[in-house]
Amino acid sequence: MTSSVASYPSLVGKTVVISGGGSGIGESITSHFARQGAKVGFLDICDDPSNALVESLTGEGHNVQYINCDVTDTTALQAAIGKISQDFGPVGVLVNNAAHDQRHKLEDVTPDYWDQRIAINIVTTQLPQPDAFIDGPSDGSEVEDELIRRGFQGFQDVPTLFSRRFNDRS
């Protein structure tokens, strides 16, 4: 029987970091990258589903690492990405999936509630650790090559770069 999932040989051995990778959509993203042969490090704050996912995927023979990390803590986020890069090699793919999408009434939105949602849903996409992405010579990945070509002025350009690259593939 053939698989209905596309195979991407370029992902084999590629280091992937996924925020919010332990449950829901993130669990699916983590599983699919791992099953493509990527080395996947994922961040989440929910230990039980994340540990269960690691057990399941490593039981299938995949190379997966979970780090409990609140992505709104910039220092912890940078340390977690650095650890994954140290353990698996330079990061070739970053998926900013962590989010908080609790339904609420407009009148229940306080300044603190607003700030917390902005911190997790927007700010964290701007804060990865550049050294994890540009360690050593280029491995030929589009993202790494583009960062090197640009002279890499800082990670503020990366979300725009990712968005443009994926939107240009239509």
What confidence score (pLDDT) does residue 49 get?
98
In a domain, 43, yes or no: yes
Question: What ranges in 13-141 are assigned the alpha helix state H?
Answer: 24-35, 47-59, 74-88, 111-121, 130-134
The Cα–Cα gap between 85 and 140 comes to: 17
CATH of the domain at 16: 3.40.50.720
- Tens digits of pLDDT across the chain (170 residues): 456 778 888 899 999 999 999 999 999 999 999 999 999 999 999 999 999 999 999 999 999 999 999 988 888 888 898 899 999 998 888 888 888 877 888 898 888 888 888 877 777 666 554 555 544 444 545 554 444 444 444 444 444 433 333 333 33
What confidence score (pLDDT) does residue 165 get?
38
pTM above 0.75, yes or no: no
In a domain, 168, yes or no: no
What confidence score (pLDDT) does residue 124 get?
65
Which residues, in sequence order, are bridge partners of residue 15? 39, 91
- C-alpha distances in angstroms, 74 versus 57, 133, 156? 28, 17, 14
Q: How many CB atoms lie within 10 A of CB 82?
A: 15
In a domain, 65, yes or no: yes
In a domain, 97, yes or no: yes
What confidence score (pLDDT) does residue 99 get?
83
In a domain, 49, yes or no: yes
In which domain, by residue range, is 154 found? 10-159
Cβ neighbours for 50, distance < 8 A, ≥ 6 positions apart: 21, 22, 23, 42, 44, 66, 68
What confidence score (pLDDT) does residue 116 get?
83
| C-beta separation of 123 from 47 below 8 A | no
In a domain, 112, yes or no: yes
In a domain, 34, yes or no: yes
**Phi and psi, residue 149, nearest 5°:** -60, -35
What confidence score (pLDDT) does residue 131 get?
52
Domain count, the chain: 1
Tell me if residue 40 falls in helix, strand or coil.
strand
